[in-house]
Amino acid sequence: MTLRSFEDIYLQAGDDLAAVPWAELRPRPALVEWLDSRPDRPGATALVIACGFGDDAEELARRGYAVRAFDVAPTAIARCRERFPDSPVDYRVADLFALPADWSGGHDLVVEIQTVQSLPRDVRRETITAVAATVGRGGELFVRASGRDDDEPTPHRPWPVSRADLAVLADAGLSEERFDDTRDARGGRWFHAAYRRA
Ligand SMILES: C[S@@+](CC[C@H](N)C(=O)[O-])C[C@H]1O[C@@H](n2cnc3c(N)ncnc32)[C@H](O)[C@@H]1O
């Protein structure tokens, strides 16, 4: 079976945005809960990795962050602009593996939700390293990922993330400040974690 590209999935959904399997069309509750647990930092810069339909980016903007959000799928970014025409968020089509040089290390807060698990295991280290590279000095990273044990197989997309996978973040200079290993109502395992660059 050939994996459908992300752009194809967004295109085929058409105006039925809820047909995109991961779309919640609201900010992720785990992100909102984490943001609520700490003081907002109005004016701080935030980057939303692979932002999909933009709800998480809008939540950060609502809290006063100066937000940049990107996705490799042009249709996703077009939908963000349609849904939030007056948004202050800077929405861009961009590839995580070829980001503009001046985005490197340039953000006070980076949000990564369900992208790492969506990209094949053979580029996992590269993916996590690319996410980490966008976090500035003293900056934070929030991660939500489908979770698994280190020795658990990953037969199909999404390919859940293990704690050993996430250890790449420490190699990239980020310290873990919070790690929650949770179950959703359907028994799905989710890691919610926060990191900081010294
Ligand atoms: C499972 S979706 C999650 C989207 C969003 N973060 C959310 O939680 O709704 C994965 C996203 O990663 C995007 N993506 C995949 N490869 C990418 C890349 N190399 N650079 C940027 N975005 C990418 C896809 O287009 C898709 O929007």
Closest residue by CA, ligand 1 atom 13 = 50
CB proximity list for 83: less than 8 A, separation 6 or greater: 53, 54
Ligand 1 mutation target, pool 8, 72, 80, 191, most atoms within 8 A of CB: 72
3-state helix, strand, coil in the chain (%, to 5): 35, 30, 40
Fold of 6-14+25-197: Rossmann fold (3.40.50)
3-state secondary structure of 109: strand
pTM > 0.75: yes
The number of the ligand 1 atom at minimal distance from the alpha carbon of 117 is: 1
pLDDT tens column, 34-93 = 999 999 899 999 999 999 999 999 999 999 999 999 999 999 999 999 999 999 999 999
Closest residue by CA, ligand 1 atom 4 = 52
Q: Is 97 in the pocket of ligand 1 (CB under 6 A)?
A: yes
Rounded mean pLDDT of 165-184? Answer: 98
